[in-house]
Amino acid sequence: MLKKIVVVGPESTGKSTLCQQLADHYQTKWCPEYAREYLLQHGKEYRLDDLLQIARGQLTLEDRFTRDMAEQPAAHPYLFIDTDMLVMKVWSEYVFDTCHPFILDQIATRQYDLYLLCDIDIPWEPDPLREYPDLATREHLFRMYKDSLVNQQTPWIIVSGNRENRLRQATAAIQKYLLP
């Protein structure tokens, strides 16, 4: 049975890097963040309605990866997902002080096996699509993610430190929570 591990956290905390590392380690696939593709195509300026479109695009991408991997379950036991509706909720609430009911409904109905919350203990790296380099905002967003994870049922951990430490922490969590 396919296990879905979601990597979340503020921007520039190594989510994509960790997904790639984990996919390489377990010789499987990872689902990238759709928001990057959307913003590159439509521009960095966005409205609340754009976040709904990004959420739908993320779910479509995730569903495509899930469907493709389900056809070969023994070959790919894990799918690593860079961003889910929890990220969309935090993003929406932080920027617009509200969240579309569709996103909230998806949070309530989608099933995941483990969350990995990336800590803000690595330096922020500039990127044309990133918005919040200041430490106070990064700390606030991290707390929002942590609060959201505390209030749900899926197991989760914080991964911190350099790339090797994060990979080690993530694989230990997979061993603890997902292996019999």
pLDDT for 126 equals: 83
* Alpha carbons 37 and 102: distance in angstroms, whole number: 21
Q: How far apart are CA 135 and CA 70, in angstroms?
A: 40
Q: How far apart are CA 61 and CA 88, in angstroms?
A: 15
Residue 149 CA to residue 119 CA, distance in Å, equals 13
What are the start-end ranges of the H helices in 71-162?
85-96, 101-109, 135-150
**pLDDT tens, per residue, the chain with 180 residues:** 899 999 999 999 999 999 999 999 999 999 999 999 999 999 999 999 999 999 999 999 999 999 998 887 666 689 999 999 999 999 999 999 999 999 999 999 999 999 999 999 999 988 888 888 899 999 999 999 999 999 899 999 999 999 999 999 999 999 999 987
* Percentage with pLDDT > 90 across the chain: 87
Q: What is the pLDDT of residue 73?
A: 61
**Domains assigned to the chain:** 3-178 (3.40.50.300)
Q: Residue 113: name the closest of 29, 23, 3 by CA.
A: 3
Give the count of beta carbons closer than 10 Å to the beta carbon of residue 13: 26
